[in-house]
Amino acid sequence: MIRLLEKEKPIPYDLLLLADETIEAINKYIHQSDIYVLERDNRIIAVFALQTISNDTVEIKNIAVDTALQGQGIGQRLLKDAINLAKEKGFKEIIIGTGDAGIQQLYLYQKVGFEIYDIKHRFFLDNYPEPIFENGIQLKHMVMLRKELK
């Protein structure tokens, strides 16, 4: 079961840093986000952060699973939990962005029903001090995906 992390609790940066390059980048959204965690044996093993964008729209700003536990279906479970939470809270859509070379992420997000609707051109070139590589390809653009909530 996921649960909302209390505001006074330490932010699980170790996990968040799997999904985002720097603490500075994470700090741009994490203090305005609700952080949901999944625990096993009193240890946080996965996380996602939801930020309200407008009355209608909420964004998954970060989603990460402990490296040793990836590929076991936890990420997919978390995405479905995030979608259900967004529905319960009355949002009309949920959005998520990922790097253009993030093949696994693009696959996974579309598998749970997200569709590509926009590209933020040069996002990773303009917002990060160092080049970022994924699957041997330099990240340049942010691919935005959306799922309508009915």
Where does this chain bind ligand ACO (CB under 6 A)?
A: 18-19, 60, 62-65, 70-76, 96-98, 103-105, 107-108
CA distance 23 to 101: 21
Give backbone dihedrals phi and psi of 32, rounded to 5 degrees, phi first: -105, 15
Rounded to a whole number of angstroms, the minimum distance from the CB of residue 1 to ligand ACO is 16
Nearest residue to ligand ACO on Cβ basis: 75
For residue 45, the tally of other CB atoms under 10 A from its CB is 17
Q: Which phi-psi region, left, alpha or beta, contains residue 135 (left: φ > 0; alpha: ψ -120 to 50)?
A: left
Rounded to a whole number of angstroms, the minimum distance from the CB of residue 138 to ligand ACO is 16
Nearer to ligand ACO, 63 or 149 (CB): 63
Rounded to a whole number of angstroms, the minimum distance from the CB of residue 108 to ligand ACO is 5
Nearer to ligand ACO, 3 or 80 (CB): 80
Nearer to ligand ACO, 12 or 75 (CB): 75
Per the CB < 8 A criterion, the answer to whether 5 and 36 are in contact is yes
DSSP structure class, residue 5: P
DSSP structure class, residue 18: H
Per the CB < 8 A criterion, the answer to whether 94 and 83 are in contact is yes
* Tokens 């203090």 -> residue: 31
Nearer to ligand ACO, 52 or 76 (CB): 76
Rounded to a whole number of angstroms, the minimum distance from the CB of residue 76 to ligand ACO is 3
Nearer to ligand ACO, 33 or 98 (CB): 98
